[in-house]
Amino acid sequence: MTDTVTPASSLPPLAASSRVLDATTYDCILLAGFGGPEGQDDVIPYLRNVTRGRGIPDERLEEVSHHYRHFGGISPINEQNRELKAALEGEIAARGLDLPVYWGNRFWAPYFTDALKELHADGHRRVLVLVTTAFSSYSGCRAYREDLATALAETGFEGELVLDKVRQYFDHPGFVEPNVTAVREGLRSLTAAGKGDNVHVMFATHSIPTAAASVSGPREALPSGEPVEVGGENEWYAGGGWYAEQQRAVAALVMDRLADEFPGVASSLVYQSRSGDPRVPWLEPDINDAIEALPADVTGLVVSPLGFVSDHMEVIWDLDNEAQETCDERGLAMVRVPTVGVDPAFVSGLIDLVEERHVAPGGTPRSREALTELGPWQDVCPTDCCLGRAAKATIASS
């Protein structure tokens, strides 16, 4: 059964909007990415980095490397971040801001340590971090903060560099509006191809373990229902925590924006790219299972990679290959619409987020925009937010 998209409603009040830091003046921006291999020789070292500490042998890593091998060992994510960095620099220049942009990754060069050494050598001490993930989860937020804290310790810059991270921007207009446009164009293309009689929209996002999803976001308020006792600790309802709730809210908003032109179109939130031990529960349904479960009279499918900000490996493989093959097998017309990438509205929105936090001396910060009742999201995480590895340091963040 698909996870039907419904608007967020009757939600408990969040304290997230009250966890706001005062604006200040920063020296530079750090674009924080995931990283990816850029050649066949990079693939196994890269996968070792991603899976470090899990005891996975190279033989097993080679078995799961075929996505990268298929594309010459090159993930598109690094080039996409180079393009995003250039676009951010252009927007910053157009606004007359004096903020150089640096770029660092968690798992491949340039690493966070490389970026911190470079910006430190250039004389910068107050850094505002832009992370290439929009939604709240351990891997999409807290892990970045922990790895940045580790990089501070490894470079010896603790006490010298201040790293503050902008809030999660899932419902900022700069992220939402390009997704609305993309889905609209996808629906129009199916109509133009004569496949628009009975269409469905699937919003695809990365699956994560249900245990991690259940503790995503702050825990003073729950997306739905009351916490239940599991293993002696409060756990959230089996609905994906704030990670899934944020995406359901944005998906519902997108469909609401399109309702006048495309009334009655069904939509659902689906998951992709699960990995690891198959005995461990992850968020479902998988997109391929969801496609197979669609009613026989569905004439067309729009797939929106809502959970991603760029067309990286998991988009071009899991959606453009595997999901497309599933649609082909049942004779279903599918349109995969683009991620926000370097859409001008997205780039502009990221700098709007910067200007919420960065002001010239005596200036006024930009007002905080949010299009769902969940936002605007927090600048500072409570200690129980997106639990995962033990936090190694406190970095002001979302």
Q: Which amino acid is at 125?
A: R
109-153: per-residue pLDDT in tens? Answer: 999 999 999 999 999 999 999 999 999 999 999 999 999 999 999
Give me 53's structure tokens: 């500490």
| Burial call 305-335: b when 16+ CB within 10 Å, e when fewer | bbbbbbbbbbbbbbbeebbbebbeeeebbbb
- Asked whether residue 65 carries a pLDDT value surpassing 80, the answer given is yes
Whichever domain contains 254, its CATH number is 3.40.50.1400
Q: Is the domain of 188 the same as that of 245?
A: yes
Residue 258 lies inside a defined structural domain of this protein:
yes
Band of residue 316 on the pLDDT scale cut at 50, 70, 90: very high
The pTM assigned to this predicted structure is: 0.90
Question: DSSP secondary structure string, 362-380?
Answer: T--PPPP--SSTT-SPPSS
For range 165-184, the mean pLDDT: 98
270 and 143 fall within a common domain: no
Phi and psi at 274, nearest 5°, equal -70, 155
DSSP annotation string for 46-100: HHHHHTTTS---HHHHHHT-HHHHHTTTB-THHHHHHHHHHHHHHHHHHHT----
| Bridge pairing between strands 300-304 and 333-336 | parallel
Residue 48, C-beta contacts closer than 8 angstroms, at least 6 positions apart: 58, 61
Q: For residues 152 and 291, state if they share a domain.
A: no
The reply to whether 380 falls in a domain is no
Is residue 91 included in any domain, yes or no?
A: yes
Least confident of 13-22, 59-68, 122-131: 13-22
Average pLDDT, the chain: 89
Give tens-digit pLDDT for 84-96. Answer: 999 999 999 999 9
Cβ(76)–Cβ(36) below 8 Å = yes
**Domain presence at residue 393:** no
Residue 126 structure tokens: 């107050």
Q: Is residue 253 part of a domain?
A: yes
The count of other CB atoms within 10 Å of the CB of residue 116 is 25
CB 261 within 8 A of CB 186: no
Q: Are residues 142 and 186 in the same domain?
A: no
Residues composing the chain: 398
Query: What is the Cα–Cα distance from 209 to 214, expressed in whole angstroms?
Result: 9
Q: What is the CB-side half-sphere exposure of residue 392 using CA atoms within 13 A?
A: 15
Question: Are residue 302 and residue 278 in the same domain, yes or no?
Answer: yes
Average pLDDT of span 42-70: 90
Which pLDDT tens digit goes with each residue over 214-236?
889 887 777 764 443 434 343 33
The backbone region for 196, taken as left when phi is positive above 0, alpha when psi lies in -120 to 50, beta otherwise, is: alpha
pLDDT in tens, 332-389: 999 999 999 999 999 999 999 999 999 988 899 999 999 998 889 999 888 888 987 4
CA 337 to chain centroid, in Å, comes to 16
Q: What is the pLDDT of residue 220?
A: 74
Q: What is the pLDDT of residue 224?
A: 60
Same domain, 328 and 188: yes
Range of the domain at 302: 3-11+172-336
pLDDT band (50, 70, 90) for residue 313: very high
Query: Does the structure show a pLDDT above 70 at 177?
Result: yes
pLDDT of residue 382: 85
Q: How confident is the model at residue 14 (pLDDT cuts 50, 70, 90)?
A: low
Q: Which residue has the higher pLDDT, 91 or 10?
A: 91
CA 271 to CA 284: how far, in whole Å?
A: 6
In this predicted structure, the answer to whether residue 239 has a pLDDT above a threshold of 90 is no
Q: What average pLDDT does range 180-194 have in this prediction?
A: 98
pLDDT of residue 373: 87
Residue-level pLDDT at 393: 30
* pLDDT recorded at residue 211: 87
* Residues 69 and 40: beta-carbon distance below 8 Å: yes
